[in-house]
Chains A and B, each alone.
Chain A
Amino acid sequence: MILQDGVFDHRGYTEKSLSRMVKAKAKADRAAARQTVQPPLVAAMVVSAPVDEPSPDVGPAESQTPDVVEDSGGNVAVLSKETSLDRTELLRSKPAVVGRFMQLIVPILIDVYAASVITPVRVKTLTGLLKAVSFLDVDGLKRVLTVSFRLLCCNASDISSVCSRGELRIVHFIVKRSPLACHWRSAIG
């Protein structure tokens, strides 16, 4: 249904695959709910020491908690979510280098996208743009994107549907955040 790089491809869409995805999502939600309930219980069983234990024992108990979470469910979703949160937080803590990276690379990604006709290159470019647009705030978007970018996004006549879906997601992100949303929406419509 969707390519590995994260761009939606409607050609792989079927009712069966949709129902499978819904079931998987429900299962993941249940597992996540279990995860939120389980760690304190398991931790309570593992840490059998009395509550009014001296403070030096607090360190090891805290260091055990991630292992307990990892062992009890082995839920990849929770761990990967934490990892991606860590990554996002880490990048947000370095605004200077990340800002320079975005300011230099995003306009070039747009140019590379416009200049290339090879689908893998376009998909990779779109993936980068999608990540950048989902990360940046309104001011950051204003700095790196030009209004005429919407023309590129909406001109889907000469490109594959895979790319146009990615472009629509980018427009969706921009319209959600930009104060120029009404203007852009009228331009798109």
Chain B
Amino acid sequence: MIRSVWPIIRNCLAYSDQRLVEFACLCVIRVIDSYYRASTENLESLVDVDLIRAVNQLLLPAGGSPLIAPNTYTLLLRALATSARASPKITVALLEADIVDTLYQILTGVLPSTHESSEEQGSAMEGQGLGGGLADMTVMENLAHRPKDQVEEALSLVSELMPPLPKGTLITSYLHFHNL
């Protein structure tokens, strides 16, 4: 039943009516929350590249300010992190749907550069030369203005998209011991 209405919900994510979009987002969030433990296969079939692109359009709108409320924005990020944790296929689908652009924008406030230049990394004159090509001040200002929950959920999503830690280390032994 969900599979038959899923395209309708996905289309609703692209509507301009704010209230309608909010409810469509809640549908997506609740489906992910209920399926990520019970049925990963169903979740994989529902959270495909098309849905992720639709969600991506909401998180990173072309017009600038997002259509959805900050709370829903945070819940969507959390739902994406949950689905990435549940299935490696969804992790790959998220990466293929360019979720990295959204995460970059959330953490820095700007979109990533379209041209690839490895020399840019860490060589920004105005930065402290710590890690990225962006000035640290830009990152700091963006972090100060972003809601703390959004930053934390974005970092959780980054962590879920990363490959797992290698097995056999002290950390993973501990995590296994405590069933974490």
Contacts and interface: CB of A to CB of B under 8 A. Distances in A.
Contacts of B179: 76
Given A108-B104, A112-B139, A127-B159, A97 B96 contact: yes
Contacts of A127: 159
Chain A interface size, as a band, is: 35 or more
A177 B179 CA distance: 30
Interface string B64-98: 00000000000000000000000011011001100
Contacts of B171: 2, 6-8, 169
Given A105-B103, A146-B130, A5 B152 contact: no
Contacts, number: 163
A115 B164 contact: no
Contacts of B151: 112, 116, 121
Interface in A96-145: 97-98, 100-101, 103-116, 118, 120-121, 124-125, 127-128, 130-132, 134-135, 143-145
A92 B163 CA distance: 9
* A interface SS class: helix
B26 to A, nearest CB: 25
Interface in B120-170: 121-122, 127-134, 136, 139-140, 143, 148, 151-152, 155-156, 158-159, 161-167, 170
Interface of A: 1-2, 4-8, 20-21, 24-25, 28, 76-77, 80-81, 83-84, 86-88, 90-92, 94, 97-98, 100-101, 103-116, 118, 120-121, 124-125, 127-128, 130-132, 134-135, 143-146, 148-149, 151-152, 169
Contact of B166 (A91, A125, A134, A143): A134
B177 A146 contact: no
A6 B175 contact: yes
Contact of A105 (B100, B140, B166): B100
Q: Which 10 pairs between the two chains have the least Cβ-Cβ distance?
A: A110-B131, A107-B132, A146-B122, A131-B162, A124-B155, A115-B140, A87-B88, A84-B164, A135-B163, A97-B95
